[in-house]
Structure 1
Amino acid sequence: MTSSIRDAARQFTGGALTALLSPATRLLGLGEPTHGVEAFLELRNELFRHLVEHEGYRSIAIESDCLMALTADAYVTDGIGTLDEVMSRGFSHGFGASPANHELLRWMRACNEQRPPYERLRFYGCDGPLEITGAAGPRPALTALHDYLAAHLDLAWNRETLDELLGPDERWTNPAALMDPAQSVGRTPEAGELRLIADDLRVLLTAHSPHLTAATSPDDWWRADLHARTAAALLRYHAGLADPAPTRVDALMCLRDAMMADNLDAVVTRESRRGPTLAFAHNRHLQRDKSHLRLADLPLQWWSAGAIIATRLGDQYAFAATTFGTRGPDVPPPDTLEGLLSTLPDTRAVIDPGLLATTLDRKPAPRVPADHTYFSIDPATIGQIDALVFIKEI
């Protein structure tokens, strides 16, 4: 290892990472290269504690169902429910089983017990109500929006109309629709009418926002807008599931990340007077460059939530990617980026990507991992990363 490569790296601390970021940062995206590894979540928790205690951050948004996260947020902000209940009902994707996520909520709740309401830490989910096997039905989001508006406005639709159009929830959550567009109800006449209603209800929510905010509260209105955003996005996603076009899967990936970007945008807007936000999700969701994935023999590409939100926030968005060296028998070859970084002395390091790029006398070879759930850093995209976090072994 040359000394110049060592000069681009520092032992990982929250301060070492934020020293590489623009002072204008309002949203910091911390990516992980694979799910289910506690080391990355523990590092996230350590970073978030630093951001809260030293950088004025007051919120975190993770790659989890945005509606389920309301349960987790109610616990950390107001102590509603028990921690065990919240871990089972406040996370999607099985993330409630993570000890690090348990510790995150426990720590946030303990912090908030000593803080006035305005200063309390908030917890968000930035993902849609989506799982590997398919999407949730739009009923919870759409009816919550309808009920909020109906309490204050005369609406052209009642709950009975919505229930009739929605039909049984099993029609929407049929897992066969993921692989067979003909099994989806997303393009039925009823689904088309629901999309129009969801659009009209959100317009009413916006048009009457001064009255509704005064009659309820800014927080109640924000939650109603979350339900409006989610209902429209879910109906759009189900329409995508019903599309037989060969670009169907690419479109679904685009729709998911657009949903995540809109959620992050709403969080940044809500938190604008309180402080910046940390977002935690897969590198592929937070990176600035176009995401690529091969599913069986199908090459997919789409713009990530990070790429989308970066066009809106400019230098107020920062992206810190995380990668690793060795995982059991999966050892990176010495000519890869991860192989070069494995020669660093620290078990966890923060690397300045710009300085690193100037020290490399050749382009590193892309790493081909043994584990298909891990996506390595593309060496060609180093210039689009603000900070690179490296864990030598997991």
Structure 2
Amino acid sequence: MATDIKDGVHPVEATALMGLLPARPRLLALGEPTHGEDTLLDLRNELFRRLVEEEGYRTIAIESDCVAALVVDDYVTAGTGTLDEVMERGFSHGFGASAANRELVRWMRAYNVRADNDGRPASERIRFAGFDGPLEITGAASPRQALTALHGYLAARVDADLLPCTGQTLDRLLGPDERWTDPAAMTAPSRSVGQSAEAGRLRLLADDLVALLDAETPHLIAAASRDDWDRARLYGRTATGLLRYHHWMADTSPSRMTRLCALRDSMMAHNLLAVAERGPALVHAHNSHLQRDKSSMQMWQGPVEWWSAGALVSARLGEEYAFVATALGTIRHRGVDTPPPDTVEGLLYALPEDRCVVDVSRLAAVLGDVLPAPRVTPWFGYAPLDPVRLTGSDGIVFVKDVPRS
């Protein structure tokens, strides 16, 4: 059967991906089935370079802390800081330790500087973005950084009488950051401060600050720059999102974890929509965050299901959002061996190519009414393709073997 899909198999190139799509997307989302494998990140880097040079893409957005990522963007666009500092401070989830991520940042800075060292015009510079919130599976950050940065931006540019509070008031209500970052709060809602009187007051103040930012938009853009205003909007989204997340961390209902997972992907979606406003971008994250279907996960309190960021963004952008899933054959150092031949991965593993782009419509036509078996993995960190959701993507990037990084 593998030979039957040969007409739908192409080299892993930007032109091949674009050829699968009905229109040029503003957001081209490339998923991955596991984190931490530089082979997949090297492939992502190569595709991004091609998209920049051949298709005019100007931003890459990855599944990393949106506020920390500003450190990376400042480095690649303006040379602020050093590469070592950026890799240490500009990534979440441990992604700064990746050699492939380091190479991405190095190449982006070199591209923006150009060989003559004059630097590219602002309109031609490539940008870096994180689109995850300041969240980990073990907890959430304090809203202090985002909230005080938003307040400071407004305080420097609007009349003091328009501000809903002073910086000192925010500091008093926030209290020590350790109150917000207690890891025990993820499994013990009573340890969360998210529904305290102070947190409730902060949610109202954050809402007022975001409303003021919106109301003063013409003045703020004229007084500084659109980039500064965009950054303030990011601070506003993050502050309100974190306060909402902390509020529901204190919830004791059975829907607590479903709501928290949904809130995280909602924050991701709003960050992606803001990235899309800047022009075409490559998005890279786990398949589960970028797919057009609901996501699901087995957690300590049982299964949870929620709408993914990709589903939310796709509903807003339509054909201007494209999703290409990555599938793989083996990760032998993780115990993931040759896939059974009756799975999607097994069918693709029989192809001669080490990596390829697969036309999903052609693959679906070859399969017909015969649904492949779901692949079962011995390692929790890898999520195989769901055969039921096969046609929910615009294409598949297949990598036959993933060696140890």
Match for residue 353 of structure 1? Answer: 360
Question: Structure 2 CA distance, aligned partners of 1:215 and 1:236?
Answer: 31
User: Which residue of 2 is the match for residue 78 of structure 1?
Assistant: 78
Cα distance in 2 between the residues matched to 1:261 and 1:2: 36
Is residue 2:213 matched to residue 1:208?
no
- Code of the aligned partner of 1:292: S
The structural deviation recorded for 1:13 is 2.1
**Equivalent in 318, 321, 332 of residue 322 of structure 2:** 318
Q: Secondary structure at the match of 2:398?
A: strand
Contact 1:202 1:228 in 2 (8 A): yes
Q: Kindly provide the amino acid, as one letter, of the partner of residue 366 in structure 2.
A: T
1:81-100 matches, within 5 Å, as 81-100=81-100
Whole-Å Cα distance in 2 between the matches of residues 295 and 355 of structure 1?
36
- After superposition, give the CA deviation of every residue in 1:270-300 in whole Å (9 maximum; x if it has no partner): x13xxx1000000000000111111246111
1:389 is the counterpart of 2:397: yes
Cα offsets for 1:154-197 (capped at 9, x unmatched):
22311111111111110000000000000000001110110000
- Distance in 2 (CA, whole Å) between partners of 1:105 and 1:243 is 39
Q: Aligned-pair distance for 1:389?
A: 0.6
Residue 199 of structure 1 contacts residue 232 of structure 1 at CA under 8 Å; is this kept in 2? yes
Equivalent residues of 2:73, 2:129 under 8 A apart = yes
The letter of the residue matching 2:213 is L
Matches within 5 A, 1:1-394: 1-114=1-114, 115-153=120-158, 154=160, 155-269=163-277, 271-272=278-279, 276-296=280-300, 298-328=302-332, 329-330=335-336, 331-361=338-368, 362-394=370-402
Contact 1:14 1:46 in 2 (8 A): no
Distance in 2, matches of 1:254 and 1:129, equals 15
Give the TM-score normalised by structure 1: 0.97
| Secondary structure, counterpart of 1:80 in structure 2 | coil
Instruction: Give the CA deviation at 1:133.
Output: 1.7
Question: How far does residue 150 in structure 1 lie from its aligned partner after superposition?
Answer: 1.1
Alpha-carbon distance between aligned partners in 2 of 1:387 and 1:52, rounded to the nearest angstrom? 20
Distance 1:18 1:372 in 2: 32
Provide, for residues 281-334 of structure 1, a one-character-per-residue CA deviation record: whole Å limited to 9, x for no partner.
000000001111112461111110000000110000000100101221422111
Following superposition, the deviation at residue 216 of structure 1 comes to 1.3
Aligned residue type for 2:237: R
Structure 1, gaps ≥5 residues long: none
Provide the secondary structure at the position in 2 that maps to 1:294.
strand
Task: Assess if the C-alpha contact under 8 Å between 1:22 and 1:318 holds in 2.
Answer: no
Q: Report the secondary structure of 1:124's partner residue.
A: strand
Cα deviation per residue 1:42-89 (whole Å; 9 max; x = unaligned)?
110010001000001000100000000000000000111111110001
For residues 165 and 296 of structure 1, what CA distance do their matches in structure 2 show? 32
- Residue type of the alignment partner of 2:14: G
Give the whole-Å Cα distance in 2 for the aligned partners of 1:2 and 1:346: 11
**Structure 2 length normalisation: TM-score?**
0.95
Given that 1:29 and 1:278 are in contact with CA atoms closer than 8 Å, whether structure 2 keeps it comes out as yes
Unaligned residue ranges in structure 2 (runs of 5+): 115-119
What is the percentage of aligned positions where both structures have the same residue? 58
The RMSD of aligned alpha carbons is: 1.1
Once residues 92 and 297 of structure 1 are traced to their aligned partners in structure 2, the CA distance between those partners, rounded to angstroms, is 26
